Structure 1
């Protein structure tokens, strides 16, 4: 379905599970889990089918960010973290969702960090998965080089410094298969609508000077930070620095051995165990 969040702005939204569950003589409320996808330029389909397993605990909201996937095309000046972060609130308002649990994966974690900074009282809980607070190019180059050799290191530098179709093609060839330690679902790429112009624009504009840590001091809810030890694009050192920037009373940190980008892709059992415990925690 497509949901209007502002005049003329519609987001693609898919909802899984009941929000009110019959439980004897009452309807029991379940929390709402809002999933912010990676990218930029990708869509929500990277969350499927793994997150269906949490429908017993939560009503799950999948959506495509403004301008992404099946949502309305929008002009480049709107492809900004502040706009995406505020859209989380706008979407919840449109759906009548109060105190959501918000999960941001990779670029979605950038959005979730800006959302925490701009709307600290809005969420009930937040998950920051395989994400970063800054550009961190030197770490990316070192990690891809360690996994894929000089060609991977060179392709990493070239794409992140000069994003465009040619550098992306080389990055796809030499680096993308290094994101994870298990083979990807061969069908998943066919589900996705990829808009590379959004990726290139963000990489040229907001990403190089980004530092999301100052806003994390405003956090007012539990935050779970998840990091794969083998993640080359958002290395675990980035997660450590996010954890250090969060109020100690609110943060929980889980590292996953033998895991790359997106813990559930490489160790679904461990990721489910950690997420299920956090989703059910008070």
Structure 2
């Protein structure tokens, strides 16, 4: 391949009940980006631009999102999203990937790590969250007080965008700040993107987030948690707990940024990730006998 030319393919992986859209760019060690809930792969544009010259960068649209869109599955789950990731990596023959997920994507990365603790080169968790809501709630209590019926009613009545805006407003009222993004334009674009989500898909995505029961991770892979300083406090607390439980866990908080930390501070996020990866693989490099 000529110097400076980046190979780009945008095929689809056929599923039993739909298809999974993805984009593969560059060559080198696989670096996989998994977007957050009600978003799409375009949210990783600043990272793809930064890393596609050094890594084989894979982005995808999770079921219900973006170019993947509607699938026939009646119920979504983080486990199902992770099944799709497993199948995609196997189909592309990508081994020992670096996994980078934001929000919902961070849950998928955690689930993958739990299933394949020795098969991930490194992990980056942006806007890292363990559960929704971001605190420990007994399963019986979550089932009893589930907001899913209310969310389904709201989506049916008002649509995906209005329901998401209402959810964001409720969280902001509780946190007292712009937790989603400190940038009005990024907030506006994020909310606008939700309007492209099918109403029933919105409900299924919410249900997947709410029902997820995170694993107790026990992995040796270098893992970086990145939060924005304006992130919701309970989410940041979960990130601190996660790092404490991982032998090679690190955490960075970037100022002037919220939940969408990779978009609020793209250059700082990219530099943080690049530094982390350089350090992680430097530690793994064999010592020369000379």
1:65-214 equivalences in 2 (<5 Å): 65-71=62-68, 73-136=70-133, 162-163=150-151, 164-165=154-155, 166=158, 167-171=163-167, 178-185=179-186, 193-203=196-206, 205-208=207-210, 210-214=212-216
Shift of the 137–89 alpha-carbon distance from structure 1 to 2, 3 Å rule, reads closer
| TM-score, structure 1 as length reference | 0.75
Structure 1 residue 194: Cα displacement: 2.4
User: 1: distance between equivalents of 2:59 and 2:93?
Assistant: 15
Shift of the 119–78 alpha-carbon distance from structure 1 to 2, 3 Å rule, reads farther
User: In the alignment, is the contact (CA less than 8 A) between 1:14 and 1:61 conserved in 2?
Assistant: yes
User: 1: distance between equivalents of 2:269 and 2:108?
Assistant: 21
Structure 1 residue 44: Cα displacement: 1.3
1:214-229 equivalences in 2 (<5 Å): 214=216, 216-217=217-218, 219-229=219-229
Structure 1 residue 174: Cα displacement: 6.8
Aligned counterpart in structure 1 of residue 264 of structure 2, from 266, 270, 274: 266
User: 2: distance between equivalents of 1:72 and 1:188?
Assistant: 17
Aligned to 1:279: 277
Of 77-86 and 221-230, deviating more is: 77-86
Structure 1 residue 265: Cα displacement: 2.0
Structure 1 gaps of 5+ residues are 20-29, 140-157
1:13 counterpart SS class: strand
Aligned counterpart in structure 2 of residue 13 of structure 1, from 12, 19, 22: 22
User: Would you say how many aligned residue pairs link Structure 1 and Structure 2?
Assistant: 248
Root mean square deviation, CA, Å:
3.1
User: 2: distance between equivalents of 1:110 and 1:46?
Assistant: 17
User: In the alignment, is the contact (CA less than 8 A) between 2:96 and 2:121 conserved in 1?
Assistant: yes
Structure 1 residue 159: Cα displacement: 7.3
Matched, 1:63 2:60: yes
User: 2: distance between equivalents of 1:79 and 1:209?
Assistant: 10
